[in-house]
Amino acid sequence: MKKILNTCTAMAMALSVMAPGLASAEMMKEVGPGEGQVNIVAWAGYIERGETDKAFDWVTKFEEASGCKVNVKTANTSDEMVALMNEGGFDLVTASGDASLRLIAGKRVQPINTDLIPSWSTVDDRLKDAPWHTVDGVHYGTPYMWGPNVLMYNTEVFKEAPTSWNVVFEEMDLPDGKTNKGRVQAYDGPIHIADAAQYLMFHKPELGIKSPYELNDAQYKEALDLLRVQRTLVGRYWHDAFIQIDDFKNEGVVASGTWPFQVNLLKADNQPVASTIPQEGATGWADTTMMHVDSANPNCAYMWMEHSLASNLQSDLSVWFGANPAVPAACTDGRGMQTAEGCTANGLDDFEKINFWTTPVSKCESQGECVPYYRWVSDYIGVIGGR
């Protein structure tokens, strides 16, 4: 984790050099009356109003109290989030680390005045100055939620938890005696290359990979070759959480990398699934609520950012998504559904073990020259296409 923080810091410093004056952009000085609405780009399951499960609703009371109607556009990948923010028309986005610094560099988001967010003091100290949303000491967002990318598996096929990600990367017969071909999935996003690199860090230490987001040409080629093997096994690349849920229920999928959100919904539906972090470790995400530079509803946006840090919201979201709150008190203060044991189960103590998503850049800390993200995008499209 320390290496990833250093990587993000190096990129943030580079952004500060590339975009002079970026940190001095205007930020709001006070919050005025709400404009009547706030438009948010968010990951699936992040902003609930009780439509999926009546017990999980952190929108309705906010709308009643603030007069700001919450409009949500669900995005399935970080690239989609960046594209939507580039198009404009949104006030906020729940960006992961592989999108946030791109949004800052592209001047699509504005600095956040933390003095206007009373609950800022309650944020986890490990996240307050995180380099995926902080450049030159200026904050460009409010931490929201973090967690690992886990291996979800069918408990009728795997009587014991798989100990390795090899069940989705290498052809084999699974414990039920049947092949894994056509029965596993992989994430439909270029950042999945990092999962292959994470696997290689463990199994091929001679490659010298220090960070799954910092790959030289030789290391990168190995990762792509592993993904080409995986391509022969994958029945479907997933990016829509609810389609993946249906695939586990009805289409014979038995193993895949996923988010805790899908695991929780399938378990709630009494499906035979469980999740684990295998021996190779895991990538993960630390998501930040960021405000568009041209937000049409900035007052409502600030009201939402403050609301997003309420410990009862953080607590219930942590239960709903199976992730960890940006406000540690949400685990223990009893204002929501979460408990200390629940946060431990969600990996609260594993922060240092997760390689959090960040954007690969050409000038990298571990070895000077690395393969930049634009190549990840084009090459992963090629892998999925069978090239």
DSSP labels for 303-367? HHHHHHT-HHHHHHHHHHHT-EESSGGGGTSSSSS--HHHHHHTTGGGGGGEEE-----SEETTT
Higher pLDDT, 387 or 35: 35
| Calculated CA dihedral for residues 118, 339, 355, 140, nearest 10 degrees | -10
Residue 90 pLDDT > 70, yes or no? yes
Strand order in the sheet with 234-238: 234-238, 184-187, 255-258, 150-154, 273-276
Q: What is the pLDDT of residue 14?
A: 43
Q: What is the 3-state secondary structure (H, E, C) of 359-384?
A: CCCCEECCCEECCCHHHHHHHHHHHH
Of the CATH numbers 2.40.50.140, 1.10.150.20, 3.40.190.10, 3.30.70.520, which one belongs to the domain with range 148-283+360-384? 3.40.190.10
| Cα–Cα distance measured from residue 257 to residue 238, given in angstroms and rounded to the nearest whole number | 10
Structure tokens at 133: 């949303």
Phi/psi for 135 (5° steps) reads -125, 125
- According to DSSP H, which parts of 88-190 are helical? 97-105, 125-128, 166-169
Residue 3 pLDDT > 60, yes or no? no
Q: What is the pLDDT of residue 20?
A: 35
Triad 166, 171, 174: Cα angle to 5°: 75
Contact yes or no for 257/194 (Cβ under 8 A)? no
Digit-coded pLDDT (tens) for 59-84: 999 999 999 999 999 998 999 999 99
Residue 266 pLDDT > 70, yes or no? yes
| Cα–Cα distance measured from residue 164 to residue 120, given in angstroms and rounded to the nearest whole number | 39
| Cα–Cα distance measured from residue 52 to residue 370, given in angstroms and rounded to the nearest whole number | 42
Contact yes or no for 187/259 (Cβ under 8 A)? no
Digit-coded pLDDT (tens) for 293-311: 999 999 999 999 999 999 9
CA max distance for the chain: 64
Beta bridge partners of 279: none
Residue 10 pLDDT > 60, yes or no? no
Instruction: Give the model's confidence band at 13: pLDDT under 50 very low, under 70 low, under 90 confident, else very high.
Output: very low
Can you tell me the mean pLDDT for 26-43?
A: 95
Q: What crossing angle do the helices spanning 311-321 and 260-268 adopt, rounded to 10°?
A: 70
pTM: 0.82
Instruction: Give the model's confidence band at 21: pLDDT under 50 very low, under 70 low, under 90 confident, else very high.
Output: very low
- For the domain bounded by 2-146+285-351, which CATH number is listed? 3.40.190.10
Q: What is the pLDDT of residue 9?
A: 46
Q: Is 384 exposed, middle or buried (0-12, 13-18, 19+ CB in 10 A)?
A: middle
| Cα–Cα distance measured from residue 325 to residue 343, given in angstroms and rounded to the nearest whole number | 8
Higher pLDDT, 358 or 192: 192
The chain-wide mean pLDDT, for the chain, equals 92
Q: What is the pLDDT of residue 367?
A: 87
Digit-coded pLDDT (tens) for 316-339: 999 998 899 999 999 999 999 999
Higher pLDDT, 36 or 4: 36
Beta bridge partners of 70: 38
Q: Which amino acid is present at 357?
A: W
Phi/psi for 162 (5° steps) reads -60, 140
| Cα–Cα distance measured from residue 387 to residue 385, given in angstroms and rounded to the nearest whole number | 6
Digit-coded pLDDT (tens) for 196-232: 999 999 999 999 999 999 999 999 999 999 999 999 9
Residue 86 pLDDT > 50, yes or no? yes
Where in the chain do CATH 3.40.190.10 domains reside? 2-146+285-351, 148-283+360-384
Helical (H) or strand (E) element with 24: none
